[in-house]
Structure 1
Amino acid sequence: MADIKYYDVILKPVITEKSMEIMGDKKYTFLVHTEATKTQIKEAVEKMFSGTKVASVNTMNRGGKNKRRGMVYGKTAKTKKAIVQLTEDSAEIEIFQGL
């Protein structure tokens, strides 16, 4: 496994209708590095966003889709999504404020 630093784990937030609904329960969705583990994701969120305490992490691996361009076949990249549950006394994550 590659040596992944905490600032390389979280790639970007996922902003969809469903992810916005579960934000009320202090659940935040991120696109993460495909080789990141749940403990690495937990450490990355706690280090990147001050005042946050992670209760649990759920991950989903999504395989790449088959694509065709003319007669050339290929596949898109694999992705990994993480849903991070914060504790009740934890601070909110600022990047999701005002959305």
Structure 2
Amino acid sequence: SFNAYTFVVDKSATKTDIKKAVSDLWNVRVVSVRTQNRGGKPRRHKYKVGYTKSWKKAIVELHEDDRISFF
């Protein structure tokens, strides 16, 4: 899994949506998509406890010949 990239995605995005967006945006072949829903962490301000926003993480694995170059 050396050819994997991690993205923060919209919470309502499905694996199919993520696969299509990545392959269309960078013109690469996506092998697999794994997702995680991450809950917000508790944060205190004096005596009140609030939470940071929850978010979704997508780990996208590409075909061994494909790369995404950011630089």
Question: What TM-score results when the alignment is normalised by the length of structure 1?
Answer: 0.65
Q: Which residue of 11, 31, 36 maps to 2:8?
A: 31
Same amino acid, percent of matched pairs: 46
Give unpaired runs (5+ residues) of structure 1.
Answer: 1-21
The equivalent of 1:47 in structure 2 is 24
Tell me which protein shows more strand as a share of its residues. 2
The equivalent of 1:94 in structure 2 is 69
Compare relative contact order (CA 8 Å, sep 6+) and give the higher one, 1 or 2.
2
Q: Which residue of 66, 76, 79 maps to 2:42?
A: 66
Runs of 4+ more than 2 Å apart:
none
SS of residue paired to 2:56? strand
Tell me which protein shows more helix as a share of its residues. 1
